[in-house]
């Protein structure tokens, strides 16, 4: 016959076992929630590999990574903007503007082809960020106007699309997006480095904490003495610079600046951010997961091309 002490020990052990089971389930559910895009990407890759023989080849996977790298730069910049509770609808047009400026600048000097899009598109983002941070105009309205302005500026620079700037043959500007290292393009390695920097900023700097605080409770962040306006301006400037860089790299890849590129690309960037786990208009998300969201958004259309 069991004593009261034995019964108490058995009960405590049962509770501990059940708690451990619940804890394991919670950890599993939390992992699936935080890494949903990665799990979907793995599942999508398995299905496509079984369906199309050429999908799982090294050449096709490298091509997927190459395509995703351009859009991942847009998604990275968009992530910081969404962290603040805002949104940037101009990235598609700024992307195309960066491509045209990059192609034109490369005709003068390869260095100019890289620096000009960064400077102009960064300034474009700074102006938008200043308006959003210093006025009561919603980011949706400001960046929608920026989208139209950037697209109109493109038409002015290219005579309403009649002029296409070409990158000179033999320019080292072309190797920026066409070169490779260890089987992966330079743009893929650049995206990896920038995402690592983004993770460092988010987790190891006060600026990352400030962005999350602004996105969660902007009024409280301001009362705490955080530099809300400056943080927003930096976020929109970063988004503009990364969009311009992505456009310049696309010009390097295509050897030209095409005005029709970037139409609707802002939706691709937003979907990649959301697939990566960032909540719109809130303070939750991780930079590391944006890459999985980008790969998910690019794998499906690329797989059908690779299977041809």
Q: Which CATH number do you get for residue 163?
A: 1.10.3470
pLDDT at 13: 55
Cα 178 from Cα 167, distance rounded (Å): 13
The answer to whether 143 and 89 have CB atoms below 8 angstroms apart is yes
Task: Please indicate, yes or no, if residue 127 is contained in any of the structural domains.
Answer: yes
Mean pLDDT by 10 residues, the chain (308 residues): 50 52 69 66 78 76 81 87 87 91 87 91 93 87 91 86 80 83 85 88 83 76 79 92 91 83 80 69 51 50 42
Give SS3 for 87: coil
Task: Please indicate, yes or no, if residue 94 is contained in any of the structural domains.
Answer: yes
Task: Please indicate, yes or no, if residue 38 is contained in any of the structural domains.
Answer: no
Q: What is the dihedral of CA 117, 119, 124, 125, to 10 degrees?
A: 100
Task: Please indicate, yes or no, if residue 52 is contained in any of the structural domains.
Answer: no
pLDDT at 14: 56
pLDDT at 294: 52
pLDDT at 37: 64
pLDDT at 305: 44
Task: Please indicate, yes or no, if residue 34 is contained in any of the structural domains.
Answer: no
pLDDT at 126: 94
Cα 44 from Cα 291, distance rounded (Å): 15
Rounded to two decimals, the pTM is: 0.79
Task: Please indicate, yes or no, if residue 292 is contained in any of the structural domains.
Answer: yes
**Could you tell me the sign of the dihedral formed by the alpha carbons of 308, 192, 273, 131, in that order?**
negative
Structural domain of residue 141, as residue ranges?
A: 64-306
Question: How many domains, the chain?
Answer: 1
Task: Please indicate, yes or no, if residue 6 is contained in any of the structural domains.
Answer: no
């Amino acid at each position: 016959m069991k004593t009261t002490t034995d019964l108490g020990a058995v009960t405590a052990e049962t509770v501990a076992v059940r708690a451990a089971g619940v804890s394991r389930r919670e950890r599993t559910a939390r992992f699936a929630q935080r890494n949903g895009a990665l799990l979907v990407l793995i599942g999508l890759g398995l299905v496509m590999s079984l369906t199309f023989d050429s999908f799982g080849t090294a050449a096709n996977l490298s091509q997927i990574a190459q395509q995703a790298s351009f859009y991942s730069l847009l998604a990275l910049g968009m992530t910081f903007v969404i962290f603040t509770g805002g949104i940037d609808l101009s990235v598609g047009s700024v992307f195309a503007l960066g491509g045209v400026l990059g192609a034109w600048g490369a005709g003068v000097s390869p260095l100019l082809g890289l620096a000009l899009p960064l400077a102009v598109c960064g300034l474009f983002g700074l102006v938008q960020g200043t308006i959003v941070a210093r006025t009561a105009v919603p980011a949706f309205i400001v960046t929608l106007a920026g989208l139209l302005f950037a697209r109109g500026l493109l038409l002015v620079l290219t005579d309403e699309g009649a002029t296409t700037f070409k990158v000179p043959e033999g320019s080292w500007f072309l190797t920026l997006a066409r070169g490779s290292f260890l089987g992966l393009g330079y743009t893929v390695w650049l995206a990896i480095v920038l995402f690592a920097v983004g993770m460092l900023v988010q987790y190891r700097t006060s600026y990352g904490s400030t962005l999350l605080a602004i996105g969660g409770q902007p009024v409280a962040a301001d009362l705490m003495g955080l530099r809300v306006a400056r943080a927003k301006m930096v976020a929109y400037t970063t988004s503009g610079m990364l969009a311009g860089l992505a456009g310049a790299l696309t010009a390097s890849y295509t050897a030209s600046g095409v005005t029709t590129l970037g139409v609707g690309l802002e939706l691709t960037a937003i979907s990649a951010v959301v697939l990566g786990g960032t909540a719109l208009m809130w303070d939750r998300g991780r930079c590391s997961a944006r890459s999985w969201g980008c790969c998910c958004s690019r794998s499906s259309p690329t797989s059908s091309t690779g299977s041809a």
